[in-house]
Structure 1
Amino acid sequence: MLMETPRLVGAFACLEYSFPFVTMARRWFVTATGIQVRRFVPNDEQGVSALILPIQREEFGIPITAEDQPDLKAIPTFYQIGTGDFWVAVQGDHVVGSIALKDIGSGQAALRKMFVAAPFRGKEFSIAARLLDRLIEESTRKGVTEVFLGTTDKFLAAHRFYEKHGFQEIAKEDLPASFPLIAVDSKFYVLGLNPE
């Protein structure tokens, strides 16, 4: 199983990959320049998993595996249909952030898989804001009227981020029936949009 652990090493962020018999390191020069937000392509699949799984398991202690998230192996057919899509923030060919939009019908969508690698968080990079701006821009263009999301009580910084960007907390009972519930989610939000 692939494991990736971010850590700072001087001016570099180093990601260590642990395979059953091999360990290798990848270095990034941590700088705000050269980071692009673009649509997911199939070659990004391993980078997306390597970004998301360590954040879920190691940073937040959520007992979740890749097998618990089959959408990570089927991004084009799960997310990139209807009004949905999936975007990544990349530095060179390294995935440093992700965000997904799942079409749930009736002009509504679910925001999912929003993650940013620890060395690339904060105002210096604004990756989370850039990813969310891209999602909102594309959602509005495609006629989405409401974006819903679920998160856990553990993601306190995420709560503040979503609220700062106009999301309103709602009760679980106020979610549309088509919203894809995840067992670990305990806090829910909605953002109203004005489609073009």
Structure 2
Amino acid sequence: MNNSPIVKQYSNEYQAQVVDLILDIQQQEYNIPITRKDQPDLFTIEDFYQTGSGNFWIAVYNEKVVGTISLLDIGNNQVALRKMFVDKEFRGAKFKTASLLLNNAIKWAKENSIKTVYLGTTPQFLAAHRFYEKNGFLSIGLKELPKNFPVLQVDKRFYRYSV
């Protein structure tokens, strides 16, 4: 039994767990009215995220998916950080799951000549805002996003990280 989650590249065998984790956090924990149908990317992760300079990772603890993160290639050596979710039990200092996932994604970005990581998030995710800011992300306005950044309807706060 390992004491901390292991971050690994997503593979299809984890799809059901990934969908369940993300929907549970969105719907149950944060009361965001978003459904499976609103997120078709969750059913085509390999084709949607794992292409170009993009990728998708999961944090696994005893064969259970406890976290996710992805980088979506948006061109011009830029990526959009998407689907950063961590099971409530695995947040914080004990497991450091969010840091493990983010550090893995930033390392990937550096190795793949990415210059900038952008992200959009919802106003409800206050702990996430603090986490991103603590990890070097700068808050930016909607107009500072590149034209090719996929703004989601729920996104109201935006960040930029220079790799």
- Please state which band the TM-score falls in when normalised by the shorter chain: over 0.9
Q: How does 1:1-16 map onto structure 2 within 5 Å? A: none
Partner of 2:49: 79
TM-score (norm 1): 0.81
Aligned residues: 163
TM-score (norm 2): 0.98
Q: Secondary structure at the match of 1:50?
A: helix
CA offset at residue 92 of structure 1?
A: 2.4
Counterpart among 93, 98, 115 of residue 128 in structure 1: 98
Q: Aligned partners of 1:157, 1:32: CA distance in 2, in Å? A: 26
Gapped regions of structure 2 (runs ≥ 5): none
Structure (1/2) with the larger strand percentage: 1
Q: Aligned partners of 1:131, 1:34: CA distance in 2, in Å? A: 12
Q: Aligned partners of 2:90, 2:79: CA distance in 1, in Å? A: 27
Partner of 1:178: 148
Q: How does 1:91-110 map onto structure 2 within 5 Å? A: 91-110=61-80
Letter in 1 for 2:93: K
Q: Secondary structure at the match of 2:33?
A: coil
Q: Secondary structure at the match of 2:92?
A: coil
Letter in 2 for 1:55: I
Question: Is the Cα contact below 8 Å between 2:2 and 2:61 reproduced in 1?
Answer: no
Partner of 2:137: 167
Q: Secondary structure at the match of 1:173?
A: helix
Letter in 1 for 2:44: A
Partner of 1:19: none
Letter in 2 for 1:112: R
1:116 aligns with 2:79: no
Partner of 1:151: 121
CA offset at residue 32 of structure 1?
A: 6.6
Letter in 2 for 1:73: F
Give the number of the structure with larger relative contact order, counting CA–CA contacts within 8 Å between residues 6 or more apart: 2
Partner of 1:20: none
Gapped regions of structure 1 (runs ≥ 5): 1-30
Runs of 4+, deviation exceeding 3 Å: none
Q: Aligned partners of 2:7, 2:72: CA distance in 1, in Å? A: 18
Structure (1/2) with the larger helix percentage: 2
CA offset at residue 68 of structure 1?
A: 0.1
Counterpart among 40, 44, 66 of residue 10 in structure 2: 40
